Structure 1
Amino acid sequence: MSAILLILIAVVLFLVAYVTYGASLAKKWGIDESIKTPAHRLSDGLDYVPAKAPVLLGHHFSSIAGAGPIVGPISAAIFGWVPVFLWIIIGSIFFGGVHDMGSLFASVRNDGKSIGEVIHTSIGDKGKKLFAVFAWLTLLLVVAAFTNIVANTFVSVPAAASSSMMFILLAVLFGYFVYRRGVSLAVGSVIGVVSLFACIYLGTLFPVSLSREVWMVILLGYIFVASVTPVWILLQPRDYLNSFLLYAMLLGGIVGIVIMGPKLELAPVTHFTIDKATLFPILFVTVACGAISGFHSLVGSGTTSKQIDSEKDIRIIGYGSMLIEGVLAVIAIIAAGYIGADKLGDLLANGGPVNVFADGLGTFMTSFGLPFATAKSFTALAISAFALTSLDTATRLARFIFQEFFTEGEGVSEQGITNRYVSTGITVAFGGVLAFYGWQEIWPLFGSANQLLAALALLALAVWLKEMGKEYKEVIIPMVFMFAVTLAALVQLIFANFKKPVLLFFSIALLVLSLVLIQQSVAAFKGKGTVSENQK
C-alpha cells in the first residue's frame, strides 16, 4: 500500500468533514458569535484570558495531542495498519470531533466551567462529585503516563532535552514581550519561530544526558510550577510556539512521504488476538488521541473554554484540532508501517513508540536533504514539547477539578486544601507515585479510563443538549459504542492487574464510579430538565 495514497485519503476526508459535518453541528447546536464568552465576561488575568484563534488553536492542539496520537497508533500496529487507519478516520470525524466540539461548546455556555460542572447542571450534585473523582483519577494517569514518555524521550534523545529547556525559557520571554510589553503578535511570532529553531540547533550542540529517574523528578517539579502560573506567562505563548513545531513536523513528514514514496511493509491485518490482547476492545482504548479521547473534554472545558474569544472559534478549535490530530495519527501509523515488523520490534524495545516515530520521520525528512540526526532530534523535540504541554495542562485541570470538588457555591476557594498550591501539590505527588510504574504498565489503564471518560462526557453532553432543546442524536451512537468498549476493557484490566494492588484499585474504582455515573445520567436523561436562559 502506498503511504502517499493513505495520507491523501485522510486529508481529503478530514477537509470534507470539517466543511460539512462540523458546520452542520455548529448550526444544529446554535453556536452564536454575538454571545459574549466567559473569557470576556469573567476575565481575571490568570485563567480567564481571551486569546486570538491562532494562539488558542496552538494551545488546544498542543494540549490534546501530546504523545497520544503517536504512542496509541504505533502500539496498536500489532493488529495491522488497516484496523488502526479505519478507526482513526471514523473516530476523528464521527466520535472525537463531536466529543471535542460539544464539550467545548457546553463549557463556554456554562461560564467556562469543567465538564463536571456541566454534569452538575444537568444531572445534579451527586453526579458532579462522582465525575470529579473519576476525572481526577484519570488525570493522575495522564500525569503518570506522559511523565514517563517525556523522560524516556529525553534519555533516548538527549538533544531534545536541552532544546526543550531552552524552549521553555523562550516561551516565557515571548509571553512577557507580547502580553506585557506590547510587541505585536506578528513580530513576536517571527522572532519566536526563528529562536525556536535556534533552540533545536543548540540542543544538538549541547545535549543533556541524565537518568530516567532524575528526569522524572525534574519534570514533576516543572509541572507543579507551570500549572500554577498565569496562563499568559507560559501556557499560551509556549503552546502557540508549539503549534509551529507541529506544523513544521507535519509538513516535513508529509513532504518527506511524498518525495520518498514509502510502501507499508506491515501486514494490513494480523490476528484478532495477539499475546492475550484482543482487537476488541484493546484497539479502541489503545488508539485514543487520534480518534477520540476523554482527556480532550477536560482540556476543552478546563483551559480552552476560559480563553475562547468568540463562539465562532469553537468549530476550528474543537472540531478542527481533532481532525489535525487525526492527520498526525495517520503519519504515526505510516512511520510504524513502512519499516516492517522486525525493525519495528527493535525500535519499540529501545525507546518505545516515540523512538519509532522519530526514526520514521527522520528517515522521511532525509529525502529532501535534512541530516537524519537533526531530523530525528527535531521530531523528538516536537513530541516532547507536546507531551510537556499535556503534562502541565493535565495538572492544571486536576487542580481545577480538585478545587471545584471541595468548594461549595460560586467561585473557587483559595483557602486550605483548595489553595492552588496545595491542590496542585497533592495531584503531582499522587501522579508521581504512579509514574514510577512505567508507561507500559500505565498506558492500558490510562487508555481505558480515558475512553470511558469520553463516553461519560458524551453522555453528559447528550443530557445537556436535550435539556437545551438541541439536536443530540449525533452524540448517542459514539456514546454507546465507547461504553461497550471501555467497560469490557476495564473488566479485562481488573483480572490483568490482580497482583498489582495500586493498579487494581484504579481499575475497580474507575469501573464502579462509571457504573454509578451511567445510572445517574440515564435517570436524568429520561427525566425532564430545564436550563437557565444564559446557557441557551
Structure 2
Amino acid sequence: MGQKLFLLFCWLFCILVVAAFADVVAGTFNGFATDGSQIVANGNVATTSMLFIVEAVALGFLLRYGKLHKWVNTAIAILLLVAGVAVGLHAPVFISQGTWHLVIFAYIFVASVVPVWALLQPRDYLNSYLLVFMIVAAVVGVLLTNPSINLPAFTSFYVEGTGYMFPILFVTIACGAVSGFHSLVSSGTASKQIKNEKNMLPVSFGAMLMESMLAVIALIAVGSFATGEAAAQGYTTPAQIFAGGVAGFLAKLGLSCNLIFTLINLAVSAFALTSLDSVARIGRLSFQELFLDASIEDDHMEPWRKVVTNKYFATVLTLVLSYLLAKAGYQSIWPLFGSANQLLSAVALFALGIIVAVQGVKKLLAQEPAKAEN
C-alpha cells in the first residue's frame, strides 16, 4: 500500500512539474507582446529550440549507429549547436503562447514514448553545452562586474498572491536546495545513461552542487534589478528576468546585450524543455507502475490493467491533465510545485536512509577505521 501511495504522489507531482515548465517554455517562445507587437528575442529562441529537436534526432542515430570517435561526435554536436543558434538568430518564428502550448505538449508526447537514445539523450547532450555556457557567462558576469543588489532584502512576512514567508521561503529555489525531482530523474533516466555505477556520485551530487550555485546566481541576477525595472524593460517571465540580469552584467564588459539575452534565454528554455522530456517520461512510468502487479504475468493481465499500463494511454492521460493545469499559468502552480518537490525529497531521503540501515552500511563504515589501524 505504501508503494502505491508513493507512486501516486510521484505521478501527481510529475503533472505539476510538466504543467509549470510547459507554461514557462511557452511564455519564453511567445512571439507577441500584450500590445500585439512581435518579440524578436522570443522568436529567435523558438526557432533554435525547434531546430535542436531535429538535430537531436539526427545526432541520436549518429551516436548509435555511426560508431565514431567521441571527439568526432563532440565536434559534430558543437557544429549542430552553433548552426542552430545562427539560424535561429536570423529566422525568428512568431507564434502565440496558446499555440506553443499545443506544440510543446505534442513534442513531450513523442519524447515520452520513443527510446531514450533517439531523442532525450542526444538532446541533453546538445543542451549541456548551452547550460555550461549559461553558467560560465553568469559567473563571469557576477565576478567581473560586482553587481549591487537593488531590491529590498525584506518587505514583510506576507506577500500578496504568494502567502506567508514560512514555508514558501524554503521552497522558492526548489532544485537549488534539496530536490525530489532530481531523485526521480536520477533513478528513472540518469541511471540508464551511466556506464559505471561509480560515476553516479560525481554526476548526481555534482549536479546538485551546480544547481545550488545557479540558484545563488539567479538570486543575484534578479536582485540586480530595481523595483519595477524588469517589467519596464519588457521582462515578464522568470527566464526573461534572469536572462536580462545576466545580459546586463556582460553588457558592462562590452558584449552585445541583445545577443547575450537571446543566448541565455535560449539556455533557460533548453533546460526547461530537457526537464519536460525527463519528467513526462517519469510520470508515465509512475502511472504504469501504479497498476502493475509482480504476481501477474503480462499474458494473464486483465483487459483494464493492460489498458492503464499501456505506455501510450499513460502518457496521454498524464499530458492531458498537465495541459489543463498549465492553462492556469505557472504563477498559480509554482508554489504548489515547490512544496511538493521538497516533500518528495524528504520522502526520498527517508527511503534511502531505510535502505542504508537494512543493508548494514553503517556497520561496514564503522569497521573501516579498524581495518586502517591493522
Normalising to structure 2: TM-score of the pair? 0.87
Superposed CA deviations along residues 86-131 of structure 1, whole A, max 9, x for unmatched, are xxxxxxxxxxxxxxxxxxxxxxxxxxxxxxxxxxxxxxxx110001
AA partner of residue 178 (structure 2): I
1:374 partnered with 2:259: yes
Name the counterpart of 1:309.
195
Residues 260/423 of structure 1: CA separation in 2 closer, same or farther (3 Å cut): same
Residues 292/345 of structure 1: CA separation in 2 closer, same or farther (3 Å cut): farther
AA partner of residue 285 (structure 1): V
1:468 partnered with 2:359: yes
Name the counterpart of 1:319.
205
**Matching residue within 332, 336, 342 for 1:451:** 342
AA partner of residue 198 (structure 1): A
CA distance in 2, matches of 1:379, 1:350: 13
The size of the alignment, in residue pairs, is: 346
Residues 344/405 of structure 1: CA separation in 2 closer, same or farther (3 Å cut): same
CA distance in 2, matches of 1:254, 1:449: 30
| Contact 2:235-2:241 within 8 A present in 1 as well | no
- Residue 279 of structure 1: CA displacement? 2.0
CA distance in 1, matches of 2:171, 2:135: 24
1:287 partnered with 2:195: no
Percent of aligned positions that are identical? 44
Name the counterpart of 1:249.
134
1:144 partnered with 2:35: no
Q: After TM superposition, list the pairs within 5 Å mapping 1:117-516 onto structure 2.
A: 126-155=1-30, 157-275=42-160, 277-344=163-230, 346=232, 350-409=235-294, 415-471=306-362
CA distance in 2, matches of 1:390, 1:412: 33
CA distance in 1, matches of 2:310, 2:19: 23
CA distance in 1, matches of 2:253, 2:311: 48
Consecutive unaligned residues of structure 1, counting only runs of 5 or more, are 1-125, 473-536
Name the counterpart of 1:25.
none
Could you say what secondary structure the match of 2:194 adopts? coil
| Contact 2:235-2:244 within 8 A present in 1 as well | no
Name the counterpart of 2:302.
none
| Contact 2:230-2:236 within 8 A present in 1 as well | no
AA partner of residue 263 (structure 1): S
Residues 255/409 of structure 1: CA separation in 2 closer, same or farther (3 Å cut): same
Superposed CA deviations along residues 481-530 of structure 1, whole A, max 9, x for unmatched, are xxxxxxxxxxxxxxxxxxxxxxxxxxxxxxxxxxxxxxxxxxxxxxxxxx
Residues 194/444 of structure 1: CA separation in 2 closer, same or farther (3 Å cut): same
| Contact 2:141-2:250 within 8 A present in 1 as well | yes
Q: After TM superposition, list the pairs within 5 Å mapping 1:8-19 onto structure 2.
A: none
Superposed CA deviations along residues 417-467 of structure 1, whole A, max 9, x for unmatched, are 211111111111111111111111111111111211111112212222221
CA distance in 1, matches of 2:51, 2:241: 25
Name the counterpart of 1:117.
none
Residues 451/394 of structure 1: CA separation in 2 closer, same or farther (3 Å cut): same
| Contact 1:163-1:202 within 8 A present in 2 as well | yes
Could you say what secondary structure the match of 1:264 adopts? coil
AA partner of residue 329 (structure 2): G
